[in-house]
Structure 1
Amino acid sequence: MYDHLELMSMQAAVLYNHDHAGRITTINEPANGPAPRFFWGQTAAGRIVRFRSDMPERLVRDILQGMERGDSTERLATVIRMLDKDREVRGVWMGPAYAVHETDKAYMGAVLVTEDNQYCLEPGFPALLSELAFRGPCYMMTENNMAVSVCFSARSSDKAAEAGVETLEAYRGKGYAMHVTSSWAQAIRQSGRIPLYSTSWDNYSSLSIARRLRLHLYGTDISIR
């Protein structure tokens, strides 16, 4: 069992590629898009902070010093102000981070996507179908041989994987997301890795999945572009 700070460190490694100095470089996805300038993972046991590789050392030093003053709200405001002074802030993402410690046996009806049934993804999830080599394992719920809800590895490392969950709009509210997430998490644990799940505070459907599956909240992560 990992403590909260270890889980947050794993999440940072899952979300982003790092250089030899521990700076983040790109998003850990096939397209390798640019990483945010700043990542802050806060837990009850402490915090994990990552800066993008092109951040000036002076700014890094000032931000770290600013994070030692005030409460959490004041510290976040300080970080945003410093980053915006250096370069306009273009987005702030913030939300809870969970680990899936147990699988709810009541939600184990999803099907593993294989070469034999991957055609079910074509109508509703064509982009996922083209990325299966990087997104496995992938589980789906189907109706009439069409995938209507999926859970896949949005980002992965040798220690953990982050869930990506999508349900077609017409099929939401049926509990399908719980089935695919539970099945995916069980497969990740069987591979010897930790299944992680994170979302934003304003994604109420995703928060509902976490609540209904009784996921383990270990911290809050913030990324600023």
Structure 2
Amino acid sequence: MNNRLMIPASHWLKTDFHTLFRTRPDGRIVCENDPDQTPGPRFWLAGCAETNLCATRADLPDGLVAELEGLAASEPPFVHPNTPVHLERYLSLLGGDGPAEHNFGLVFELPHDTPYQGDARLVGSDSEEGAGMMRSWATDRIPKAWFDLGFREVADFWTPWCAAIVDGEVASLAFAARLADTGAELGLVTAKAFRGRGFGAAATAGWSQLPTLRSRTLFYSTDRDNVSSQRVAARLGLRLRGASLRIS
């Protein structure tokens, strides 16, 4: 049986929400669910063909939250490439003296054991080779290609991860950008010298096969204008299921 059809849309969106954010008991967003606990959006709206889900950050006034939630309740299903009906009103309410910053996202299903044929060798963080690589980098410094991409120490390689190795170098790394008990959101970085050659897809497929992710729903998300990330999803045949709006 196709396990993609077994998760109702409302449950799937709620799992995505609780994977992305840390929340108060009432569901208000406290921060992103990443190791750095970065600030979350002030307003988040996600939808698919069957349903929508919205959330607000914990520091917003209750009156503003009620108005935002009232508008969101009247939104038709928010699907790509549509724009939320009340977008301008959301931006006005949250913008103060000018429109608030916002971006649109796409949310793909990432099945476990996603197949992909490629030339890269895959190494997981839970393997002895992966652990040895991190020990080596902690001692001998992180390779310049990855240091230049913002990886300053081994703690920046958020586990669980899967690396695509080409000619002895890490070409691409898929990692847990968000990790919760029930879901995991993939993050993906490819070294500049290896981009456009399918290694990101290889690392993503390898990540979907990691034993530590077996009990979690996996998500592959990207900005609407991130063409290269969408190419990875296309290489893997991932199903686009949801769309999102973030207002910061």
TM > 0.5: yes
Indicate if the aligned counterparts of 2:121 and 2:166 stay in contact, CA closer than 8 A: no
The amino acid of 1:175's aligned partner reads G
The amino acid of 1:198's aligned partner reads S
Seen in structure 2, the aligned counterparts of structure 1 residues 166 and 70 have a Cα distance that, compared at 3 Å, is closer
1:63 and 2:68 correspond: yes
Indicate if the aligned counterparts of 1:138 and 1:153 stay in contact, CA closer than 8 A: yes
Seen in structure 2, the aligned counterparts of structure 1 residues 93 and 51 have a Cα distance that, compared at 3 Å, is same
Aligned to 1:43: 48
Aligned to 1:219: 242
The amino acid of 1:96's aligned partner reads L
Choose 56-65 or 117-126, whichever is displaced more: 117-126
Q: Deviations over 1:80-134 (max 9, x none)?
A: 122124x75542121110111251142584211322123469213342752267x
Aligned to 1:201: 224
1:67 Cα offset (Å)? 3.1
* Structure 1: distance between partners of 2:207 and 2:153: 16
Percent identical: 25
The amino acid of 2:131's aligned partner reads E
1:216 Cα offset (Å)? 2.0
Aligned to 2:92: 81
Seen in structure 2, the aligned counterparts of structure 1 residues 139 and 69 have a Cα distance that, compared at 3 Å, is closer
Q: How many residues align?
A: 223
Per the alignment, in what secondary structure is the counterpart of residue 33 of structure 1?
Answer: coil
Per the alignment, in what secondary structure is the counterpart of residue 87 of structure 2?
Answer: helix
RMSD: 2.3
1:166 Cα offset (Å)? 0.5
Aligned to 2:132: 116
Seen in structure 2, the aligned counterparts of structure 1 residues 21 and 141 have a Cα distance that, compared at 3 Å, is same
1:197 Cα offset (Å)? 0.5
The amino acid of 1:46's aligned partner reads T
1:42 Cα offset (Å)? 1.0
Structure 2 unaligned regions, length at least 5: 1-5, 77-82
1:22 and 2:56 correspond: no
Per the alignment, in what secondary structure is the counterpart of residue 110 of structure 1?
Answer: strand
Aligned to 1:130: 154
* Structure 1: distance between partners of 2:75 and 2:131: 54
1:176 Cα offset (Å)? 0.3
Indicate if the aligned counterparts of 1:11 and 1:196 stay in contact, CA closer than 8 A: yes
* Structure 2: distance between partners of 1:4 and 1:221: 14
Structure 1 unaligned regions, length at least 5: none
* Structure 1: distance between partners of 2:100 and 2:88: 15
TM-score scaled to structure 2, two decimals? 0.81
